[in-house]
Amino acid sequence: MAILEFALLAFTSIVVITEPSSTIPEFLALTKDLDAGERRRAARKIAAVSFIVLAFFALTGHLLFVVFNITHGAFTIAGGILLINVAFGMFRPKKEEHSSHEHEEIAVIPLAFPLTAGPGAITTVILLTAQASDLLETSLVYAAISAAMLIVYVGLVYSSKLVKGLSNKVFKVLPSFISIFILAIGVQFIINGIINVATPFLAG
């Protein structure tokens, strides 16, 4: 049962924090001059680069605890605060950004990083990897990253059709709706961190 709960937490957290609807407006704006094939290649590159970034931090994130002598509880609380900040940031309207990069570069910056594999997503995978108790749970984190990137890729490839199928009101409300889940995840991380920090003192 614990494995199923961790799997649900991993998939839900990573998929929600990397959901493509918040990136679709920027993707459509920055790739408006590309044809369908070029846009598909850009989406594939965004997903691939984002996977590499998140997998890298999932793999090396534990090193941060050793090098800087950070407890898992303290980092969980800090990560929860960051996720809450990300959630509140999604409520605020974004200013339109104009990139000076060439078309082959925009898939990396800013679309892959920091829009898809941003601070919130990086923090999430580090926290999940830190909470994994064995190799199976650790592998579930990488599986969740893969699933999330597949969703991102499909969402970006079909973004133009998705936008046509949704009303402007629904498209504007969706990021706010998703931010509620990110906010809840952040609060839960803080609760878990407080429990983790307090447990040794209560036991003693």
pLDDT tens-digit readout, 88-145: 776 665 554 444 345 557 788 778 887 788 777 888 899 899 888 899 999 999 999 9
Q: Which helix (H) or strand (E) holds 1?
A: none
Q: To the nearest whole percent, how much of the chain has pLDDT over 70?
A: 81
Burial zone of 143 (CB within 10 Å; 0-12 exposed, 13-18 middle, 19+ buried)? middle
pTM of this structure: 0.69
Q: Which two tokens stand for residue 99?
A: 């990139």
Q: Which residue has the higher pLDDT, 73 or 5?
A: 5
User: How confident is the model at residue 61, as a pLDDT?
Assistant: 79
Amino acid at 73: G
Domain ranges (residues) in the chain: 39-203
d(Cα 9, Cα 3) in Å, to the nearest integer? 10
Cβ–Cβ under 8 Å, residues 43 and 146? no
